[in-house]
Structure 1
């Protein structure tokens, strides 16, 4: 699990992102993207770890890989909706090598707002988090 905190803007409040992926390189890329954006980031390597983190803090957006070592990204989304009360309405987005692998009906039912395909550019990551955060703000002091 990695923790990276930084602030921007006059209010000192920044989006907080939870990024879940079993691949350490993907987690590192998310850290670089959040650092470049001035956002707070928590990372998790497993769905179970992510559910625990989602129960401990409120996030502006939660991103997860479609396939984790212990569950799918959609199962993770459902677990967060069922157990992590502070993040029941937090926007979710799924990252995958193929969007065709994600069941769109199930994804919509649990509140997945976007499905992004690898590779994800810095701009695409930033735009997605900003757009989702503007719809459902969950900022940290």
Structure 2
């Protein structure tokens, strides 16, 4: 009888790429405490791409509107590299920038969460989009 792999008992890891520090902290605390996941954070798109390449998280929560490299550029870079191309991505976007289901499919994202969001519902939304 084989024993489960050591990673089977580890929490899933989510990388949060969000330039706004206070929002990044709220998301991190919410996903750790209510979702039970391990959360890494990146304050910029470039840092997010770099961390995704190094860590290979189970999923990425990605802000669309960032100053240095916006979320769609980050997504394009992630999808163009074999080591990050299959990581599920959920976009965080302001309601003023709606993305249709068709665009969501074209982008290859697992879901879209509108800002502002309810922190108490965030981990449930993430779990639903990722089928966790």
TM-score by length of 2: 0.80
Partner in structure 1 of residue 46 of structure 2: 48
- Quote the RMSD (CA, aligned, Å): 2.1
Structure 2: 5+ residue runs without aligned partners? 1-7
Q: How far has the Cα of 1:124 moved from its partner? A: 3.0
Structure whose alpha-carbon radius of gyration is higher: 2
Q: How far has the Cα of 1:90 moved from its partner? A: 1.6
Question: Contact 1:15/1:40 (CA < 8 Å) preserved in 2?
Answer: yes
May I ask how many residue pairs the two structures share in their alignment?
124
1:133 and 1:124 map into 2 onto residues whose CA distance is: 14
2:116 and 2:60 map into 1 onto residues whose CA distance is: 18
Q: How far has the Cα of 1:118 moved from its partner? A: 1.4
Q: How far has the Cα of 1:71 moved from its partner? A: 1.9
Structure 1: 5+ residue runs without aligned partners? 1-10, 136-141
Question: Contact 1:99/1:115 (CA < 8 Å) preserved in 2?
Answer: no
1:121 and 1:16 map into 2 onto residues whose CA distance is: 21
State yes or no: 1:134 paired with 2:125.
no
Partner in structure 1 of residue 61 of structure 2: 63
TM-score by length of 1: 0.76
Which structure's relative contact order is higher, taking Cα pairs within 8 Å and 6+ residues apart?
1
Match of 1:95 among 92, 95, 109: 92
**Greater displacement, 106-115 / 44-53:** 106-115
